[in-house]
Structure formats: C-alpha cells, structure tokens
Amino acid sequence: MNYWLLLVLYLLPLARPDAASKYSTRTGMISFFSSTFIEDIEAHNNQVGALLDLTSGQVAFSVTMKAFQFKRTLMQEHFNENYIESDKFPRSTFAGKLLNFQPTQLNQPGPQEVQVEGDLTIHGVKRHIKVPGTLELKGNQLLAKSKFIVAPADYNIEIPALVRENIAKTVEVTVSLACEPAPQQP
C-alpha cells in the first residue's frame, strides 16, 4: 500500500471537514485594569488584530495603543502622552506559540486550557512571557481568551511621583478574541 495513502487514512479521523487551521480577527478586545485605594483605572480596546495558526501553534496580535478608551478623557490623554507615549510607540505586539497543544483538543466541548509563550512588546520593550489561556471552537469561530498580569515598570513605563499612588504596580490584562477562519492562501 502507498505510504501517502496510509498517512491520509491515519490523519483523516483527526480532521474535521469544516475546520480551518488559521483564524484571524481585526476586532479583538484587550482591556486592562489597575486598582489602588485611591482609584480604579480601566481601559478597553477593540482594535486588536490577531492571527492564530492551529497547525503550527503560532499566535500573534497587534494593538493600536491610541485605541484604548477610558471612562475619563484626561486619563486617556495621560496614558497616551505621558505613560505609553503612543506617538513614539504606536503599537504593542505579541508573537508566540501555544505550548503542548494539539488541534484535536478543540474537538472536545467547551473552552480548552492552553499555555502561550512568546514575546510581548510594550512601550518599545520586548519581554518573554508565559501566560494561561483558553481556546474554544464554537461553530465557525475560534474563541481565544487570556488573563495575565503586567508590571508597567518592566516595560520602562515611568509613572510621575505626583500620581504614583493612583496607579497599581501591576495591571491585569484581559484578552478576548473571536476569530474567523482566515482566507486560505493558494
């Protein structure tokens, strides 16, 4: 029997005819939350571009920093001008890989726990991180979620002494992506 035919027959039960291997979005959501005894600071951004390749396990996303929306305009101005310096560092990015992940895990119902490891670049500083997350195939969409902690000091984000007590030393970041199958390349 032909080797290729054996390989196809072996892999056939693992493949879902409607399953794609690459998923993407341009409207993902990232939010962050900082809490101190003085005030809570929260911002949301739904201009997140992301690509997930289930075959290779590669994960990448890019965030426009000026797209973060705060409840107060003054907070947004300070974030963009004084802290994150959005004109100088307009984007934050992540490029990494799913660890110990097999696409067949998504055949099970509900969110599947994953670990993601890679390089997070904020404010021009790249740091290697490892964070937990979940993946779920729901209909034609791949839902990806993660929640992790970032320390602004790790990314050379300086907080002026005058407002240092208003901003927590660590910030909780939440990522929520609803990705569609990416167009297949010929």
Nearest to 14 by CA among 101, 98, 103: 103
Structure tokens at 145: 């979620």
The predicted pLDDT at position 151 comes to: 93
Question: For each successive 10 residues of the chain (186 residues), what is the average pLDDT?
Answer: 33 43 95 88 95 96 96 90 93 96 92 97 97 95 96 88 75 96 74
The predicted pLDDT at position 53 comes to: 96
**Cα–Cα dist 176/46, whole Å:** 9
From residue 83, give the alpha-carbon distance in Å to each of 35, 123, 153, 155.
17, 9, 11, 10
The predicted pLDDT at position 40 comes to: 87
The predicted pLDDT at position 26 comes to: 95
Q: Give residue 59's identity as a one-letter amino acid code.
A: V
The predicted pLDDT at position 169 comes to: 86
The predicted pLDDT at position 19 comes to: 53
What pTM was estimated for this model as a whole? 0.84
The predicted pLDDT at position 1 comes to: 39
